[in-house]
A and B are shown apart, each in its own frame.
Chain A
Amino acid sequence: MCVMYRGVAPYLILMCCVAAAAWAGQADPQARAGQARAIHFGDIVLRGFERAEVALGTSARATGPNTTVDTVDEARKSSARLQAASITAYMAPKSANRVERVEAQGNVRFQVTRPASGGEGSQVVRGSGARAVYYRERRLLEMQGPITFSADEPVPGGGNGRQTVDGRADSAVYDEGKNVLSLIGDVQATVVTPQTTAEGSTFSGDRVDVDMSVNPYTVVISVTAADRGRVNIRLREPEPERGQGAPQR
């Protein structure tokens, strides 16, 4: 069974694509004076850890409940924060300044802020899971959970209107090269847009693939049993056009 659903992807993808895009923070040794303790390892920055083990040129592992990786992508004007009980970064072979892979384990949380897709305001994406691995060389982010995710951004040209999505799944994979996000296992999501009711539209499935290489994005919901896939779209009643039903002067 396969259900096509358009227009949801901009919210669903945020959980993973922002994390993949925001690992480009740069260290500046000249500006280090006065900073809280931190480890700049290639192009990531580790903070908030209680213990760290660094094999220079190879790997850096930091542990502690508030271990944090902060990155800033100035080109994309985005920032990202990843927190976990344990975060390990591995340098790419034959490279001393480029991290190939980042592994986060235990109470993984992330938050990404970047310009909204409509160019007005910012998107804020949050998520959590049990484990996350970002393969930088393959441009692939894997999250294992259960995972939760949410996104919020203003509606382009929509005044104070906002679009949100939140939900959960067993795991997720974002292929940055193909620009495809896959949510896998017992996917449950709620989408609220100006066109929906306040409760929003809900959908569920065993796997949701979001193809972001096409415009508009295409969402494919796959289920293995007929009773496991559901789409419930709740649209707001259209308001009467201006002048309709109004007394004629």
Chain B
Amino acid sequence: MKRMAAFLVLALAMAGCGGRTASPVAEVEARPAAEPLPEVATRVVQVRWQAKARGGDLVPQLEVRAARGRVEPDGLTGDLEQATGTLYRDGEARATFEAPLVTANQAAQQVVASGGVVVRSVRPPGITVRAQTVTWHSSDHRVVARGDVWFEQKPPAARRAVAWGGPFESATLNTQIERLTIP
């Protein structure tokens, strides 16, 4: 007997339409009724920010995905656990990050990642920053890393790191994390 797979996607929240959006989503995979149904296989909470580009188009500003989390009804503010995310500038992905806890506050244009954060550059690639806490101020494209801050630059073609440093109490970086200021 020929079976057809069906997928049921349950949207927990959809916020914003044509403007900044935040969309915590839980995805539930349903198997054919003849087979034992597993418990919920996947649940993803997702927050997205968008901003108007110079031409007026909406471009991505922030994306955060997490296995668990709580998002406000407006979908723009929330706490996410075991999160991964992407920081954008001018619509282009510039850095990705991983953190045990991420708090996004769109009203404050601020994202705080804590619990041991790893930030990796996208353009240019090969730069990694590690810190206890990392705060991204999206309004001025500034990243502030605090607590046991280390950085490393290892271009993809390099056999080993060509620059690295730490530990620092804090460091301020741009969104591309290629410029660091250490007080």
Contacts and interface: CB of A to CB of B under 8 A. Distances in A.
B179 interface: yes
Interface residues of B, number: 23
A87 to B, nearest CB: 14
Q: Which 3 A-B pairs have the closest CB atoms?
A: A39-B165, A97-B162, A52-B182
Interface of A: 27, 29, 32, 37-42, 46, 49, 51-57, 60, 96-97
A27 B166 contact: no
Given A37-B167, A57-B153, A27 B179 contact: no
B106 to A, nearest CB: 30
B1 interface: no
Interface in B106-159: 124, 127, 150-153, 155, 158
Nearest to B172: A53
Given A40-B165, A42-B163, A57-B124, A96 B180 contact: no
A29 B164 contact: yes
Contacts of B182: 39, 49, 51-54
B122 to A, nearest CB: 14
A43 to B, nearest CB: 9
Nearest to B183: A51
B164 to A, nearest CB: 5
A96 B164 contact: no
Contact of B164 (A40, A49, A53): A40
B152 to A, nearest CB: 6
A53 B181 contact: yes
Given A42-B163, A54-B180, A54-B181, 20 more contacts: A27-B163, A27-B164, A29-B164, A37-B166, A38-B165, A39-B163, A40-B164, A41-B163, A49-B182, A51-B182, A52-B180, A52-B182, A54-B163, A55-B178, A56-B153, A57-B178, A60-B163, A96-B155, A96-B158, A96-B163
A48 to B, nearest CB: 13
A53 B160 CA distance: 22
Contacts of B165: 37-41, 46, 52, 54
A54 B166 CA distance: 12
Contacts of B163: 27, 39-42, 54, 56-57, 60, 96
A46 B168 CA distance: 13
Nearest to B124: A57
Nearest to B162: A97
A29 B179 contact: no
22 contacts: A27-B161, A27-B164, A29-B160, A32-B164, A37-B166, A38-B166, A40-B163, A51-B183, A52-B165, A53-B181, A53-B182, A54-B165, A54-B182, A55-B178, A56-B151, A56-B153, A57-B162, A60-B163, A96-B153, A96-B163, A97-B158, A97-B162
Nearest to A50: B183
B150 to A, nearest CB: 8
B27 to A, nearest CB: 38
B155 A55 contact: no
Given A37-B167, A56-B127, A57-B124, A96 B179 contact: no
Counting chain A CB atoms within 10 Å of each CB, the highest count among B160, B161, B163, B178 belongs to B163
A226 B131 CA distance: 66
Interface string B18-44: 000000000000000000000000000
